[in-house]
Amino acid sequence: MSTDDTTTETDASTSNCGAASTTDSSSESKCGASSSTDSSSSSCGASESTEEKVGSTADDFDADPGKLTAVGLGPGQPKGMTERAKGALADAEHIVGYTTYIDLIPDDITDDAEAIYDTPMCGEVSRTEEAIDRALAGNDVAIVGSGDPNVYALAGLALEIVESKGATASALDFEVVPGVPAAQSCGARLGAPLVNDSVSVSLSDHLTPMPEIESRLHAVAGEGFTISIYNPWSRKRRENFQKACEILLAHRDADTPVGIVHGAGREDEEVELTTLGELESYGETDLVDMTTTVVVGNEDTYVFDDRMVTPRGYETKYDY
Ligand SMILES: C[S@@+](CC[C@H](N)C(=O)[O-])C[C@H]1O[C@@H](n2cnc3c(N)ncnc32)[C@H](O)[C@@H]1O
């Protein structure tokens, strides 16, 4: 079932904790958690407060808990998804996720699920709580995200909420099914930029204040890591991208190779090789947005035949 179908089949009026064949695209919890969950004011903007609160506790559920699995979908298209991820989704009775991510799941899997709960961007606390409540109510639930659940994603939040509800990860048989993270998908499209020590930095100040992000960038740029920049740009915080470019340029030469990958593994994939000196000028183009990862080379990174290469150091020991 595609999300186009899910919108037409939305049924927000019935209880869905154990619902069969019901697709629910509403942001209201159906498992007793909605009364104290307020995600409507959250827009993921840095300046807006998020008032999402965890509502029901483990004691509110009588059923034997089902299984909760955090599944990483990889970069985008089904062929980028692991067999294990597909199997975990096929085994799940309920699949929960951000609408864009639900759209990435093959139709034959969503068609077979008993229920799909998808909500628009943000509201990640209430969406994760919904997944947990559905599992506590006895359903086998998969909560999905792009890339890997451990990379700026919901695996940690799920465990934190399970704990705050007085439940246990063991009771829910909680499992993380890894997916290919954006840095690796994008690195592959660029050649071999991540072969030596590398780190990821997110420019989203939704949860981490910008001064903290700036100091982390200074630290990693100064240490010479290859850097994968997640969440590089959004209209609400275009200055974060500018600031990041300034910080990187304070530590690295303007001709340092930079790879920009938009929508790796998706239909709108675009790849651009540029330099650190030029990077800021891409901030106002369609290439750099919330589905873009920017890979900044280290001092040894070079471009060979349109591919970024970061030597691992073999050349210091071997002749070739
Ligand atoms: C909230 S993070 C999620 C990361 C994800 N869990 C992972 O492992 O890649 C979202 C960011 O991941 C990056 N991203 C996700 N999918 C991408 C793709 N297909 N191509 C390029 N970057 C992507 C972008 O930087 C985006 O802003």
> 152: Cβ below 6 Å to ligand 1?
yes
Q: Is 302 helix (H, G, I), strand (E, B) or coil?
A: strand
Cα separation, 179 vs 187, in Å, equals: 15
> 122: Cβ below 6 Å to ligand 1?
no
Domains and CATH numbers, the chain: 3-180 (3.40.1010.10), 183-309 (3.30.950.10)
Q: Count CA atoms closer than 13 A to 9's CA, side-chain side.
A: 18
Which tens digit of pLDDT belongs to each residue from 115-134? 999 998 778 999 999 999 99
> How much is the pLDDT for 121?
78
> How much is the pLDDT for 123?
87
Which tens digit of pLDDT belongs to each residue from 11-45? 333 334 533 334 454 444 555 333 333 333 334 54
Range with lowest mean pLDDT among 66-70, 103-107, 247-251, 301-305:
103-107
Pocket test for ligand 1, best of 146, 150, 207, 213 (most atoms within 8 A of CB): 146
Query: Regarding beta strands 226-230 and 292-296, do their DSSP bridges make them parallel or antiparallel, or are they unpaired?
Result: antiparallel
- Global pTM value: 0.88
Which residue has better confidence, 158 or 122?
158
- pLDDT band for 183, please (50, 70, 90 cuts): very high
> How much is the pLDDT for 49?
42
Structure tokens, 189: 């499209």
Q: How far is the CA of 151 from the centre of ligand 1 (A)?
A: 9
Q: Is the dihedral of CA 163, 165, 169, 174 positive or negative?
A: negative
> 80: Cβ below 6 Å to ligand 1?
no
> 16: Cβ below 6 Å to ligand 1?
no
> 65: Cβ below 6 Å to ligand 1?
no
> How much is the pLDDT for 48?
39
Which tens digit of pLDDT belongs to each residue from 225-284? 999 999 999 888 889 999 999 999 999 999 999 999 999 999 999 999 999 999 999 998
Cα separation, 88 vs 149, in Å, equals: 13
Q: What average pLDDT is seen over the chain?
A: 87
Cα separation, 178 vs 72, in Å, equals: 5
Spacing of C-alpha 276 from chain mean position: 25
> How much is the pLDDT for 12?
33
Percent of the chain with pLDDT over 70: 83
Q: How far is the CA of 153 from the centre of ligand 1 (A)?
A: 9
Pocket test for ligand 1, best of 44, 73, 122, 152 (most atoms within 8 A of CB): 152
